[in-house]
Structure 1
Amino acid sequence: MVMTAGTETKLQEIKRIIEDKCVDLLHLQFVDLEGVLKHVTITAEDLEDAVEGRIMFDGSSIAGFSPIHKSDLYLLPDLNTFAVIPWTVEDGYSEARFLCSVMNPDGSLFEGDTRNVLKRTVQKAAEQGYTISAGPELEFFLFQTDENGRPTVKTHDEAGYFETSPHDLGERVRLEIYRALKAMGFKVEVSHHEVAQGQHEIGFKYADVLGAADNATTYKWVVKTVAKRFGLHATFMPKPVFGISGSGMHVNMSLFKDGQNLFFDADDRLQLSSSAYSFIAGLMENIKNFAAVTNPLVNSYKRLVPGYEAPCYIAWSASNRSALIRIPAKRGMATRVELRCPDPSSNPYLAYAVVAAAGLDGVERGLTPVAAVNEDIFHMSSEERAERGIDNLPGSLEYALDALEASDFARDVLGDHVYGEFVAMKRAEWDSYRTAVHSWEIENYQGKF
């Protein structure tokens, strides 16, 4: 790492915290292709080696990373992600973590690291004078566990939207999650029970898009860890229970230039700028091309069905929550575009990269979106939707992958390495699901035929 005055100051601050908090272990965290968190643990005495990018690991052991003959990779900590891990504080000692980018032996960015994919998108925006802010909203479920600590299919409570105790049994869990996040530097804005039984959301303040992906990754780790300490299982699976709402990861994005929000125009009827309209159009034009990234599981498409608030039709509105894209009411510096289809099983680095790139594509090309749809799309007939030109999102992972491969968009954003490994992994996942015999088939066919 090249030390600037700013990074040197940050490093000295980290060293003071390590000394004050008696931090003896440092976890160097990174994510795999699916966004699952991994780490390598070192002692605090090896901080300087870590900061210089001298901590090596075997990339061939991480699915989608490196072949065995090119397995040596290195971790470069992002100093801005340093945090003492709250639940490790014990007997005066504690542990801390960094989120890292993955590097090649020659010091270049490893193209298989999904964090580096998002960094490339950020750099491309910066070359045009733009910065991107993002505010994700990740929902999750809490499930009871059995005597061996394995998750059951029974939700932790039967409460509904915004309910309080004694029905909301997750209040104490959310409180501990909030405290852990706050201790790690998060600015938590809202916490509440969600629509479905056992479903919850904790919202945190928006950040630059890379920071937002780091925060989403950290948030999922903290939620699952704290839940485990309560004897519960937290899942970000998009549709774990049939017949109730699934979990989404609504992504709010804004585009800034010279400190000004480019999406706001006080003179427009909706107070939206031409850049905002073009960003919306870019999302709508590319949505099918990147749905496999923002909704990457077989299970993802069981959430994107009518009747459960999740979008399944390609439309936008300034107020309509049945639309794919919504413009929340706040204006001025808070003007933003909300994409409602992504789910929290997605890798945040890849998801935010494709969403940002799609919107920027619309801005670069000066695209204009079709007319907004302010009516409830779920209650329209198929003929009415056809007359309005309202198309559907892909109905399965298979169709989403077909669209992904039919366009150059995702390959351009993800890069050849990540694109190839992602498609291969997801094709194998679909084929495994397609050829498996499911309990529904046994229940409906075994006795009948």
Structure 2
Amino acid sequence: MSKTTIANTTETLAKIKETINQKNVELLHLQFVDIEGILKHVTVTVEQLEDVVEGKMMFDGSSIKGFSPINKSDLYLQPDLTTFAVLPWTEEPGYSEARFLCSVTNPDGTLFEGDTRNVLKKTVERVADKGYTISVGPELEFFLFKNDDNGYATQELGDKAGYFEPQPHDLGERVRLEIYRALKAMGFTIEASHHEVAEGQHEINFKYADALTAADLSTTYKWVVKTVAKKFGYHATFMPKPVFGINGSGMHVNMSFFKGNENAFFDPSDELQLSKQAYHFIAGVLENVKNFVAVTNPLVNSYKRLVPGYEAPVYLAWSASNRSALIRIPAKKGLATRVELRCPDPSSNPYLTFSVIASAGLDGIEKELEAPAPVNEDIFHMTEEERAFRGIENLPGSLEEAVKELEAGEIGAKTLGEHVYNEYVAMKKAEWDSYRIAISSWEIENYHSKF
């Protein structure tokens, strides 16, 4: 560890201790995610801060999905001091609680390869070896459903408002306001908040960040949204398609590579103001997206949103403005130049999602892949024959197909590492098999009385 790093760590820890004293923090939640991106935590008293900072807090990895076998179950939590935050909903006179997001380590102090946060760290390092840093701006949509008297989610949507509608139609506006306040208190920079297209659907946008920070923010965002919504009697879900017949929820991922303070995707002399690195990045994502969509869209339900023939981001094409293409280049340029991938959904593990997108884009840069011509026509309203003539392919149509593509390609194993890759594929195959043999309400409704 360099002298600068030690000095920064010492300064950060001193600020944390000052905040702990000012806010009367008594409990510390040490948070991490499992292979699916589901948040976990263990709670300790503030008196154990020194042991926490030194990474001495042990837990049973065999009880966490996708982690360790029972004979190698001892794992440790190493907090990222930059993620320290007091939880605003716990604050009361003389008392509060705080959290750290942690990386998981082995008993010898090395990074545990089954921790998806560590997967993203390695991807960031691989990109850094080529001279780049990764900037990510995710946009996570969610639905609010009413809870019953026992606090459990119902199928009743929280409101019947539409896109950008205010109160009195948008009954979730007050919930979003409290979510905004909580996120701001925890260090987020919020850029926008609004009702989305579907009834009961919402979005709150936060400022882009480096890849690891953006994944940490996404994880925190989902937790805060659910926590605050419950206080208002709502269940917030990031399920991609919770209601048939209306829009599903996406997680558009805006990504760019930087060299120092310069955006490597920007070239003012190009017609679209895109650099050759940007074109190669686009080509790399299009080349690999079929092989990583099982990561960015990880559920059986994800493919109820990604359906060809509807207005869904399933067509393998790119455009500078066309929202019917899988990849879009937003209008803002200069430092804001970025590539927007529109297929990911918010049920995905952000650490893995950002890893595979960055890795695919870097492949395109390393191999100098040529991007196809942009498609500026409305792909949604093309016939199947027109799309075939233009060579516009679809994403896989089911989780089963997506997992087969993941196994057929190289990007998954290369990016995720042996441990996470093997655990992930096995988990998704089991998930598909469970779905495949289940009897659905549709089958009962259509067959039970008829046959």
TM-score (norm 1): 0.99
Distance 2:294 2:94 in 1: 46
Identify the residue that residue 23 of structure 2 maps to in structure 1.
Answer: 21
Indicate which of 160, 179, 182 corresponds to 2:181.
179
Read off the aligned partner of 2:233 and give its amino acid letter: G
Tell me, yes or no, if the aligned pair for 1:244 and 1:308 is still in contact at 8 Å: no
Number of residues of Structure 1 aligned to a counterpart in Structure 2: 449
Identify the residue that residue 42 of structure 2 maps to in structure 1.
Answer: 40
Structure 1 residue runs of 5 or longer lacking an equivalent are none
Identify the residue that residue 190 of structure 1 maps to in structure 2.
Answer: 192
- What are the superposed Cα offsets for residues 121-156 of structure 1, whole Å, 9 maximum, x if unpaired? 001111111100000000000001112211111100
Identify the residue that residue 433 of structure 1 maps to in structure 2.
Answer: 435
Distance 2:310 2:384 in 1: 18
SS in 1 for 2:31: strand
Tell me, yes or no, if the aligned pair for 1:157 and 1:170 is still in contact at 8 Å: yes
Identify the residue that residue 74 of structure 1 maps to in structure 2.
Answer: 76
SS in 2 for 1:137: strand
Read off the aligned partner of 1:228 and give its amino acid letter: K
* Superposition deviation, residue 308 in structure 1: 5.6
Distance 1:302 1:378 in 2: 16
Identify the residue that residue 267 of structure 1 maps to in structure 2.
Answer: 269
Distance 2:409 2:308 in 1: 27
Identify the residue that residue 221 of structure 2 maps to in structure 1.
Answer: 219
Distance 1:163 1:307 in 2: 28
SS in 2 for 1:405: helix
Indicate which of 432, 445, 448 corresponds to 2:447.
445
Tell me, yes or no, if the aligned pair for 2:164 and 2:195 is still in contact at 8 Å: yes
TM-score (norm 2): 0.98
Distance 1:263 1:177 in 2: 33
RMSD: 1.0
Structure 2 residue runs of 5 or longer lacking an equivalent are none
Read off the aligned partner of 1:155 and give its amino acid letter: L
Read off the aligned partner of 2:251 and give its amino acid letter: M
Identify the residue that residue 416 of structure 1 maps to in structure 2.
Answer: 418
Matched, 1:387 2:389: yes
Identify the residue that residue 251 of structure 1 maps to in structure 2.
Answer: 253
Indicate which of 76, 83, 89 corresponds to 1:87.
89
Tell me, yes or no, if the aligned pair for 1:246 and 1:308 is still in contact at 8 Å: no
Counting aligned pairs with the same residue, the percent is 74
Indicate which of 51, 54, 61 corresponds to 2:53.
51
Matches within 5 A, 1:397-408: 397-408=399-410
Matches within 5 A, 1:83-162: 83-162=85-164
- What are the superposed Cα offsets for residues 225-261 of structure 1, whole Å, 9 maximum, x if unpaired? 0000001000000000000000000000010002100
- What are the superposed Cα offsets for residues 99-124 of structure 1, whole Å, 9 maximum, x if unpaired? 00000000000000000000000011
Indicate which of 281, 284, 289 corresponds to 2:283.
281
- What are the superposed Cα offsets for residues 51-106 of structure 1, whole Å, 9 maximum, x if unpaired? 11101001011011001111000000001100000001023210000000000000
Identify the residue that residue 355 of structure 2 maps to in structure 1.
Answer: 353
Distance 2:175 2:226 in 1: 11
Spell out structure 1 runs of 4+ moving beyond 6 A. none
Distance 1:314 1:265 in 2: 24
Distance 1:80 1:368 in 2: 39
* Superposition deviation, residue 395 in structure 1: 0.2
Distance 2:337 2:311 in 1: 23
